[in-house]
Amino acid sequence: MLRRDFFCCALCAGFAGGNLVSGGGPIARPATAQQASRTVLVRDAEIENSIHAMATPGFRAAGLNPSAVSIHIVLDRNINAFVAGGQRIFLHTGMLARTETANQLIGVVAHETGHIAGGHLARVQERLSTLSVAAIVEALATGGLIAAAATRGNVSSGMPAPGGPTVAEKIFLQYTQGEENAADQGGVTYLARSGQSPRGMLEMLHMLQQQERIFQGYRPDPYLRTHPLSTQRIAFLEEQVKNSRFASTPDTPANTEAHRRIVAKTLGYLDPTEAMRRFPDSDKSIAARYSRAWVYYRSGNVPGALALCDQLIRESPRDPYFYELKAQTLFEHQRIAEAVPVYEQAVALLPGRGNELLRFELARAQLSLEKPEADRAALKNLEIVSRVEDRNPEVWRHLSQAYSRTGNQGMTYLAVAEERLARGEHAAALDAAERALRILPSQSAAWLRADDIRLQARRRPGQ
The more confidently predicted of residues 5 and 276 is 276
Tell me the percentage of the chain whose pLDDT exceeds 70.
Answer: 74
- Tell me, yes or no, whether 215 lies in a domain: yes
- Tell me, yes or no, whether 40 lies in a domain: yes
- Mean pLDDT score of the chain: 80
Largest alpha-carbon pair distance within the chain?
A: 68
Q: How far apart are the C-alpha atoms of 423 and 417, rounded to whole Å?
A: 10
- Tell me, yes or no, whether 72 lies in a domain: yes
Residue 91 pLDDT > 80: yes
pLDDT of residue 230: 63
Q: How many domains does the chain have?
A: 1
Average pLDDT over residues 103-107: 97
Query: Per residue in 346-367, pLDDT tens?
Result: 999 998 888 999 999 999 999 9
pLDDT of residue 23: 28
Instruction: Decide if 417 contacts 434 (C-beta within 8 A).
Output: no
| Closest alpha carbon to 146 in 222, 36, 232 | 222
**Which long-range contacts link 385-391 to residues 24+ away (Cβ below 8 Å)?**
385/356, 385/359, 385/360, 386/418, 388/353, 388/356, 389/7, 389/356, 389/360, 390/418, 391/7, 391/422
Query: Per residue in 127-145, pLDDT tens?
Result: 544 444 334 334 433 443 3
| Closest alpha carbon to 389 in 364, 365, 372 | 364
Residue 152 pLDDT > 50: no
- Tell me, yes or no, whether 97 lies in a domain: yes
Domain span at 228: 3-251
Cα-trace Rg, the chain: 23
pLDDT of residue 127: 54
Query: Per residue in 55-69, pLDDT tens?
Result: 999 999 999 999 999
Supply the angle between the helices 231-243 and 199-215 in degrees, to the nearest 10.
150
Query: Per residue in 223-270, pLDDT tens?
Result: 555 555 667 888 999 999 999 999 999 999 999 999 999 999 999 999
H helix or E strand, kind and range, residue 91: strand 88-92
Confidence of residue 90 (pLDDT cuts 50, 70, 90): confident
pLDDT of residue 205: 87
Q: How far apart are the C-alpha atoms of 316 and 386, rounded to whole Å?
A: 30
pLDDT of residue 88: 85
- Tell me, yes or no, whether 292 lies in a domain: no
Query: Per residue in 401-446, pLDDT tens?
Result: 999 999 999 999 999 999 999 888 999 999 999 999 999 999 999 9
The more confidently predicted of residues 457 and 40 is 457
Query: Per residue in 173-229, pLDDT tens?
Result: 444 677 888 899 999 999 999 999 999 999 998 887 776 665 555 455 555 555 556
Confidence of residue 35 (pLDDT cuts 50, 70, 90): very low
Residue 5 pLDDT > 80: no
- Tell me, yes or no, whether 99 lies in a domain: yes
- Tell me, yes or no, whether 110 lies in a domain: yes
- Tell me, yes or no, whether 78 lies in a domain: yes
